[in-house]
Structure 1
Amino acid sequence: MGKWLGMCAVVAAAVLTSGAASAQSGFPSKPVHIYVPYSAGGAVDILARTLGEVVSKQWGQGVVIENRPGAGGVVASQALAGSAPDGHTLIVVASGHATNPFLYEKLPYDTFKDFTPITLLASSPNILLVKADSPFKTLADMIAQARAKPGSLAFGHAGNGTSTHLAGELLKGLAKIDINAIPYKGGVPAINDLLGGQIPMSFNNGPESVGQLQAGAVRALAVTTASRASFLPDVPSMAETVPGYDTEVWWGLLGPAGMPADLVEKLAHDFVAALNTDQMKARLTKLGASPIGSTPQQFDQKIHADYEKWGPIIKAAGMKAE
């Protein structure tokens, strides 16, 4: 996440000062629908709704958030792929968009050809959590026990192929430890079992971890990004103990394939402007996330990079969608 945040200000300035005036005149001419591939109340839903509030004021036009959960984002993505490329139908996807081709035997769309990247909106580290009274005080403590007693430890995660599952598999590979992955139907059930003592640790994303951390019910051993998170400055990064470790969960905005270049430019401009408002910054901070606001080209590169990075790991672990 560090390199993305480092370029945020430069990218935002470039997009905000670009020729947005050349975009198709009259857009939006009707309410803009933004699909959310997950249920209401989660991090992606909150992000999309807050963005919708801000850009609707900019446009003087309504923004409708449609929750279309199912199959790790596949249901909503398929609906978007079949929509008109006029900018009035968009989707906020999570980082799983880049890894779904490896988790599902056959997708009803092409991950790259059927979509238009607009901007990488925000990112958040995943966090390795233990109970507040856990004997593990540091990541090194946990790794030492895992090496001393292979297979004796397990971590919870939000489901097969999710970013939290991948975070654990990356740790297993880089730290050369044998720990068991326990899938749950979402991150919150994993935290509940962590609190109940059924599992010794859990990988969770920032938004679902912040409240438990603030309440003192859990303790963070490490964040998964290469550098420390701004909202958890006292928590080490994984890379401080396991060199080369770096992963995150991100959220980005896509449109269907075939959108005119000037319309894509306008949408990128407007959503980057929204990300830079005090309202969005405050909401993202509460979610344990950081704004990015990339160019369309940089978002496209990010999707391809994650596809290349995680494909071999997913195949090696034999992961399949639940």
Structure 2
Amino acid sequence: MNRKHFISFLAVGATCAAALVAPFAHAQDKFPSKPIQLVIPFAPGDTDNMLRPITDKMGEFLNQPLVMNYKPGAGGGVGAGQVAASKPDGYTLVGSSPGSIVVVPLANKDINYTTDSFTPVAALSEGVMMLVVPSSSPWKSVKDIVDHSRANPGKLTFSSSGNMGITHLLAEIFAKDAGVKLNHIPYAGSAPAITALLGGHVEMASTAIAPAQAHIKAGTLRPLAVFGDKRVKSYPDVPTLKELGYKVGSPTLYGLSAPKGTPREVVDALYAAAKKAT
């Protein structure tokens, strides 16, 4: 995977599906000599599911575990801020999509960090987002959503994994492209966002696929479309928003970042483990 691509990805806040390919040096033998704290700036159920299979393998290669700590809030800003303020020694990392690192500090004046507060380590996983509604919903297509929203501006409620998070932003881009206004209800992670949808507190959810899968399989949720330009193999009958005529979204990268000032040899050791794990 290309570290340069990941840095550019964070710098512009764009999504990409490039693999990281970069040279790396041998880290000092003393790192890591203790467990690495991996801050997940969202509630369990989305980002952690994307990263855990890879970070568990990284721990095996490093001979020290990456221990996930959940610090949700402010669209990922709470957890990311804690990592930005931590000692730059490689023992505290943040695992996230670029939304919490790039968009949140631009949109929230109370956030105490900037994109430059981090050193990108590696992109680990590619996530695809989708729009879902309850199976009992009268809406069976994106066209139904758009038609309803045009007739009832600002009435349709949708949940996301957090204000200014990737699921929120993609839904807002879709709404703008469709020329409609939606009513956003943020939650602290995709799992509670899905729970709210199932409980009838909102009418639609913009979510990563993983938290919705079991409910789609059980028949309680209906997928309307995926963000991106390619259909998902596990849902071949679900169209992409691109093929429906909307210019929104591509898969987003989930990766690891360290505080600014983390020694190069430490970043390289982490990257080497990530490369082996992926």
Q: What is the TM-score when the length of structure 1 is the normalising length?
A: 0.71
* CA apart distance, 1:79: 3.2
Which region of structure 1 is more displaced relative to structure 2, 224-233 or 119-128? 224-233
Q: Contact 1:32–1:87 at 8 Å: present in 2 too? A: no
Q: What is the SS of the residue equivalent to 1:123?
A: strand
Question: What whole-Å deviation, never above 9, does each CA across 1:70-101 have from its counterpart, x for those lacking one?
Answer: 44433433333344433233221233221111
For residue 245 of structure 1, what is the aligned residue in structure 2? 248
Which of 71, 80, 84 pairs up with 1:81?
84
Cα pair distance change 1:29/1:159, threshold 3 Å:
closer
* CA apart distance, 1:191: 2.9
* CA apart distance, 1:47: 4.4
Aligned-residue Cα RMSD (Å) equals 2.8
What is the distance in 2 between the residues matched to 1:140 and 1:190? 23
* CA apart distance, 1:162: 2.5
For residue 118 of structure 1, what is the aligned residue in structure 2? 121
2:141 corresponds to 1:168: no
2:224 corresponds to 1:221: yes
For residue 135 of structure 2, what is the aligned residue in structure 1? 132
Q: What is the SS of the residue equivalent to 1:238?
A: coil
* CA apart distance, 1:238: 0.9
Task: Name the structure with the higher helix share.
Answer: 1
Q: Count residues with an aligned counterpart.
A: 264
Match for 2:112: what amino acid?
Answer: P
Question: What whole-Å deviation, never above 9, does each CA across 1:112-167 have from its counterpart, x for those lacking one?
Answer: 1x211111222322211112233322212322333344344332333322222222
Match for 1:104: what amino acid?
Answer: N
For residue 110 of structure 2, what is the aligned residue in structure 1? 106
Q: What is the TM-score when the length of structure 2 is the normalising length?
A: 0.81
2:217 corresponds to 1:206: no
Q: What is the percentage of aligned positions where both structures have the same residue? A: 30
Question: What whole-Å deviation, never above 9, does each CA across 1:162-209 have from its counterpart, x for those lacking one?
Answer: 222222211121011233323344434443343344443221222211
What is the distance in 1 between the residues matched to 2:214 and 2:79? 28
Q: What is the SS of the residue equivalent to 1:253?
A: strand
Q: What is the SS of the residue equivalent to 2:115?
A: coil
Which of 96, 102, 105 pairs up with 2:100?
96
For residue 67 of structure 2, what is the aligned residue in structure 1? 64
The unaligned stretches of length 5 or more in structure 2 are 1-14
What is the distance in 1 between the residues matched to 2:199 and 2:68? 35
Match for 1:245: what amino acid?
Answer: V
What is the distance in 2 between the residues matched to 1:77 and 1:194? 27
What is the distance in 2 between the residues matched to 1:130 and 1:203? 9
What is the distance in 2 between the residues matched to 1:149 and 1:40? 32
Question: What whole-Å deviation, never above 9, does each CA across 1:211-236 have from its counterpart, x for those lacking one?
Answer: 11111111111011232223322211
Q: Contact 2:80–2:100 at 8 Å: present in 1 too? A: no
Match for 2:115: what amino acid?
Answer: T
Q: What is the SS of the residue equivalent to 2:242?
A: helix
Which of 179, 184, 188 pairs up with 1:181?
184
Cα pair distance change 1:148/1:161, threshold 3 Å:
same
The unaligned stretches of length 5 or more in structure 1 are 276-322
What is the distance in 2 between the residues matched to 1:150 and 1:216? 29
Match for 1:232: what amino acid?
Answer: Y
Q: What is the SS of the residue equivalent to 2:140?
A: coil
Cα pair distance change 1:153/1:41, threshold 3 Å:
closer
- Give matches, 1:2-21, under 5 Å: 4-5=16-17, 7-8=18-19, 11=20, 14-15=21-22, 18=23, 20=24
